Chain A
Amino acid sequence: MTVNRDIVVSSRVRLARNIKNLPFGMKFNKLHSDNIALDVYRNIGGERTGFGLYKPSSPESLDGTVLKEKRLISEDLLSKAPLASVILNESETVSIMIGEEDHIRIQSIEPGFNLNKSFIATDKIDNIIAKNIPLSFSEKLGYLTACPTNLGTGLRVSAMMFLPGLSIYNSLEECVQAMSRLNMAIRGVYGEGSDSSGYLYQLSNQRTLGLSEEAILEAVISSVLKIVEAEKQAREVLLNEGGATLKDKIRRALGTLLYAHKIESAEFNTTMALVKLGAYYGFFDILDSNKFEKLFIEAQPASLQSICKKKLSQQDRDIFRAKYVSDVLNSIIQINGV
């Protein structure tokens, strides 16, 4: 079954690992965290295999915040700068965070619904690390992690889902409950349930212990497919009931993105979400869906400043955002009919 990015935005798999005998966390010594980062980097082949080792200079650093907006590093890792490091591959699909809550977090993000590919990528790196670096492991409890919620496999499989249909129909609460019976969690990506969330949700496994990696992966995949089906139905109903009002709202959202002089982050998220929904309904064609999806990240505050290569005040940022978004959309969107 193929599901494209109009419902499952991206797939992510993360493995938590810790070094044998070493206390969790990385508070105690910069030298140690740097040594671990270098050791992991060397073992996975370093530059030769196209990986780079980065260290955000501070929690406020632009480069670090850009990586966070791209979800290549976590908030927690960034807050630990300059102690923490991240190892990234060239295509920015794999990131290995050193110095998070757990010493090593191997993460792979793939666009769309591709959890298998993400899993294979993290598993491969884990095997290399395990061969060369002593890891904290117990026969009974598996990989020992700082928090017992990651214990065992240390595996978190998650899909970022775009769910405007279910959100607008207030059916998400039901989904959350149904999913929690399957030991799956659904969380809002930006602020819980608010309109500015852009209808983005993260579905992931809750249990990490007592199941094999493959069983966890399969359970998440089948849960994602259930939510995809529910979302498709909700979008049908929304279209039938919404009629001209819905179409008007969506086209006004596109109007805002194309013609506004300045636009804030929250308004961007809401209007882009509606435009994305409009494209799903065929109100307009998106000629380059990669460019379109990339825009969601590019329009975030730090990424914008990195694109325009200078620090911007809030107002200048909102003006630059409006201009940038309008230019990109103009080049890739084709409006159908009236």
Chain B
Amino acid sequence: MLCDNCKNEKASFHSAKSINGIMKERNLCASCQAKVFPFGTQMGSFYDIFADFTNFSSPLEPAIRKEIKKCSNCTRTILEVEKSGTLGCPNCYEAFSENLMPMILRVQNSTIHRGKSPNGQQINSAANLEISRLKKELIKAVDDENFDEASIIKSKIVELERGLKTE
């Protein structure tokens, strides 16, 4: 039997599981299996079952309708996201970034996290990254003698830096 994914190599990994009541069968070669199980199966944690689950559809099901944007990780479409207001999985944030960012900016008035992180530290790296990006833009704007734009960029930097200090 050939691998479902690359349709090239001989399948060495076989599994079947029921998702929403529908049995899905998989036959993968060693290298495709490694892609689907990024942590391997010997980790002994149940969390890698999730990795398996979330990646289940990505290498195996090519987007059926190209015109509707779809998350490769959970198969949710942009239409479903817009209708329900909720996302299917963490990867949806990247998959639908173009559609979500303006909405996030409107609701949250920001697109940059300034709080704690799982390693226990307050991270400002996103804000710092943005500041260094803006500083480069500022230099360019000044070089181009584009002073209106420069002053806009400068006020953005000041605001971001103020945000860092108040923490």
> Which residues of A approach B to under 8 Å, CB–CB?
18-25, 27-28, 32, 35, 39, 101, 123, 126-127, 130-131, 133-144, 146-149, 151-153, 155, 183, 206-215
Tell whether B86 is near chain A: CB-to-CB under 8 Å: yes
B17 nearest in chain A by CB position: A29
Nearest B residue to A149, CB-CB: B107
Per a CB cutoff under 8 Å, which of B49, B103, B111, B122 touches A141?
A: B111
The CA of A19 and the CA of B49, in the complex, are separated in Å by 12
**When the two chains form their complex, are residues A139 and B104 in contact, meaning their CB atoms are under 8 A apart?**
no
- Cα separation A135 to B126 with both chains bound (whole Å): 18
- B93 on the interface (CB 8 Å rule)? yes
Closest A-B pairs by Cβ, 7 of them: A210-B110, A142-B113, A153-B115, A22-B50, A130-B118, A209-B108, A23-B89
- Whether B103 contacts A148 by the Cβ 8 Å rule is yes
Find out whether the CB atom of A139 lies under 8 angstroms from the CB atom of B125: yes
Complex alpha-carbon distance, A183 and B107, angstroms: 10
| A34 to B: closest C-beta gap in Å | 10
Contacts of B50 in A (CB 8 A): 19-23, 32
How many angstroms from the CA of A32 to the CA of B85 in the assembled complex?
24
Contact A148-B114, Cβ < 8 Å, known A22-B54, A28-B53, A183-B109: no
**A contact residues around B117 at 8 Å (CB):** 137, 139, 142
Contact A147 B85 (CB under 8 A): yes
* Chain B residue nearest in CB terms to A138: B93
Minimum CB–CB distance from A243 to chain B (whole Å) comes to 46
How many Å lie between the Cα of A144 and that of B88 in the bound state? Answer: 11
Q: B98 to nearest A CB, angstroms?
A: 14
Task: Report if A148-B46 is in contact (Cβ < 8 Å); known contacts: A101-B86, A213-B115.
Answer: no
Chain B residues with CB below 8 A from A126, complex form: 116
Name, among B19, B55, B110, B113, the residue most crowded by chain A CB atoms within 10 Å (CB to CB).
B113
Contacts of A213 in B (CB 8 A): 115-116
A149 / chain B contacts, CB cutoff of 8 Å: 107-108
Q: Could you tell me the distance between the alpha carbons of A158 and B89 in the complex, rounded to whole angstroms?
A: 27
Report the tally of A-B residue pairs with Cβ distances under 8 A. 137
B90 part of interface (Cβ distance < 8 Å): yes
Given contacts A28-B20, A130-B120, A139-B125, contact A20 B47 (CB under 8 A): yes
A28-B20, A152-B108, A209-B108 known; A141-B47 Cβ under 8 A: no
Please tell me if B100 contacts chain A, counting CB pairs below 8 Å: yes
In the complex, A139→B87 CA distance in Å? 18
State whether A210 and B125 are in contact (beta carbons under 8 Å apart), knowing that A35-B46, A130-B118 are contacts in the complex.
Answer: no
Chain B residues near A207: list those with CB within 8 A: 107-110
Q: What are 13 residue pairs bridging A and B, where the CB atoms are less than 8 Å apart in the complex?
A: A23-B50, A23-B53, A23-B89, A140-B112, A142-B117, A146-B86, A149-B107, A153-B113, A206-B107, A207-B108, A209-B110, A210-B108, A211-B114
In Å, the complex CA distance between A249 and B103 comes to 48
Distance between Cα atoms of A259 and B120 in the complex (Å):
56
CA–CA, A136 and B50, complex, Å: 12
Contacts of B51 in A (CB 8 A): 21
B167 at the interface (CB under 8 A from A): yes
Please, how many angstroms separate the alpha-carbon atoms of A177 and B62 in the complex?
48
Residues of A within 8 A of B111 (CB): 140-141, 209-210
